[in-house]
Each structure stands twice: as C-alpha cells, then as structure tokens.
Amino acid sequence: MVEVGTGSKMAEDLIATENDLNARLAALAGRCAVMARLHSRHGQPPLRRRPAGFEGLVHVVVFQQISIAAAAVIWERTVAVFGAITPERLAAASDEDFRAAGQSRPKIRTLRSLAAAVLDGTLGLDALPAMEAEAAHAALTRVKGIGPWTADVYLLTCLGHGDAWPAGDIALQTAVQDAVGLAARPDARQMIAIAERWRPHRAVAARLLWAHYAALKQRAAVPATTA
C-alpha cells in the first residue's frame, strides 16, 4: 500500500502529463540501475491516466481481480446497462441490473457501498486530489469492499500520485521478481520493502515494471524455434 506522509498535496508531486513522467523517469533512472535498465529496454512507459471521480473509481473496481480482457468486456456491459456511471444511478440499481452488467456478488456489494459512501458524504472524492497519498488511501479503504489494490491503482491512474505503489498487484510482483532477480515472487509486504529504494517515484517504477511484465508475457507467448 501507499506509505507517504500526510498533509496537503502539491501539484508538483503529481504525474499529470508526459513531461511530468519524463522528469520523474530521469530522476529515477539516475539513482537506480535496475530502473535505468528497464527504461533503456522498454522505453517510455504509458502515462496510465484516467479521469478522477466516481466513474474512474468504479472502473478500477470493475478491473480488480480479473484479467484485463475480461474486465474490458464487463466494463462495456456496465456502461451499456447503466449509461452514466453515477452514484445515484448505481444506488438505485437492482441486482438484476448489476448481473446484466456482468458484476459478481462481491463487486455488487462493493459498488453499492461505494455509491452510498459518496452520497452520504462518507467518501469525499473531490477532496482526495488535495490529500497526500497516505490520507487518500485511508479514506478510500474505509469504504467496505475497497481494498489496498483498488485504492493504490486509483491513486496512481486517476489522481496521478507520484509515489503510489500497488504492492498487491500480481503483475508488478512478477515483474519485480524478474527485474531484481528473486527466487520467488514477492508478496505485498516484501514489495513495500523492496520499493523503498524507489521513493518518492514508486508510481514511475510501477509504470516501468508493468511495461516489463508485458514484455515478459509477450516473450513467454512466442514459441521456441529450432535450427
């Protein structure tokens, strides 16, 4: 999970543009040989930004714990069923609506909890961008069903926090295992310890490592050839 200090969030700490990402990439590669190697090998990673707000957070929830391909199909169904993704629309939806959108029972509960938290003011999404990552992470995970992975990915992709670190992400864990040369895939606790070397640019390290994971998958999918 994210581990940074509390207080107000300064604009210069955010990754909002390609220029922001480039500056942080240079800083990270300059202090870490592993990150410099990944940057040289894979080039510029994607910015990975989505709009903040309720729809952005729902998108992260939909994509949790399933493959990207499956999540993309379910997201299309969700938009087709609900139209505008608003807390009012989801709060008023029936279980049949959610099932038609392809949502599992745990995700139905999470989406209902999220809609209720926004409507009753328990979760103030508009206030999150001004918070440090730790405080924003805590506010998100107070909502039933929003776990560390969902909070961390929302901080990274929707709010642009420069030091967000989704330690529980399996793709990141696999990429770290290969990039750092570990015998086994690290768990979330180990990932937090390993990433200490990349503060305060862990969100940039995550982008490079996701690019590395994509390359690993592509390499594994290529059949071996014989002479």
Residue 106 belongs to a domain with what CATH number? Answer: 1.10.340.30
Q: Are 65 and 151 part of one and the same domain?
A: yes
**Predicted local confidence at residue 219, as pLDDT:** 86
**103-134 per-position pLDDT tens digit:** 999 999 999 999 999 999 999 999 998 888 88
Span 80-98, average pLDDT: 96
Q: Are 192 and 146 part of one and the same domain?
A: no
Q: Are 137 and 194 part of one and the same domain?
A: no
- Residue 224 predicted with pLDDT over 60: no
3-state secondary structure of 20: helix
The reply to whether 224 falls in a domain is: no
**Predicted local confidence at residue 225, as pLDDT:** 40
Work out the percent of the chain whose per-residue pLDDT is above 90. 84
How is the chain split among helix, strand and coil, in percent rounded to 5?
A: 65, 0, 35
- Residue ending a domain, among 158, 184, 202, is 158
Higher pLDDT, residue 223 or 57: 57
CA dist., res. 55 & res. 84, Å (int)? 8
Higher pLDDT, residue 225 or 185: 185
Nearest-Å Rg of the Cα atoms of the chain is 18
- Residue 98 predicted with pLDDT over 90: yes
- Residue ending a domain, among 107, 142, 158, is 158
The reply to whether 168 falls in a domain is: yes
**Predicted local confidence at residue 227, as pLDDT:** 30
**154-210 per-position pLDDT tens digit:** 999 999 999 999 999 999 999 999 999 999 999 999 999 999 999 999 999 999 999
**8-28 per-position pLDDT tens digit:** 444 457 899 999 999 999 999
Count structural domains, the chain.
2
> Token pair 């642009």 is at which residue?
160
- Residue 223 predicted with pLDDT over 60: no
Mean pLDDT across the chain, nearest whole number?
91
> Residue 111 belongs to what domain range?
54-158
Picking from 114, 127, 131, 213, the residue whose alpha carbon sits closest to that of residue 166 is 213
- Residue 67 predicted with pLDDT over 60: yes
**Predicted local confidence at residue 226, as pLDDT:** 37
- Assign 3-class secondary structure to 46-92: CCCCCCCCHHHHHHHHHHCCCCHHHHHHHHHHHHHHHCCCCHHHHHH
Q: Are 39 and 107 part of one and the same domain?
A: no
Q: Are 62 and 117 part of one and the same domain?
A: yes
Q: Are 179 and 210 part of one and the same domain?
A: yes
Picking from 108, 60, 106, the residue whose alpha carbon sits closest to that of residue 81 is 108
pLDDT band at 2 (very low <50, low <70, confident <90, very high): very low
**Predicted local confidence at residue 7, as pLDDT:** 42
Q: Are 94 and 153 part of one and the same domain?
A: yes
Q: Are 206 and 148 part of one and the same domain?
A: no
The reply to whether 203 falls in a domain is: yes
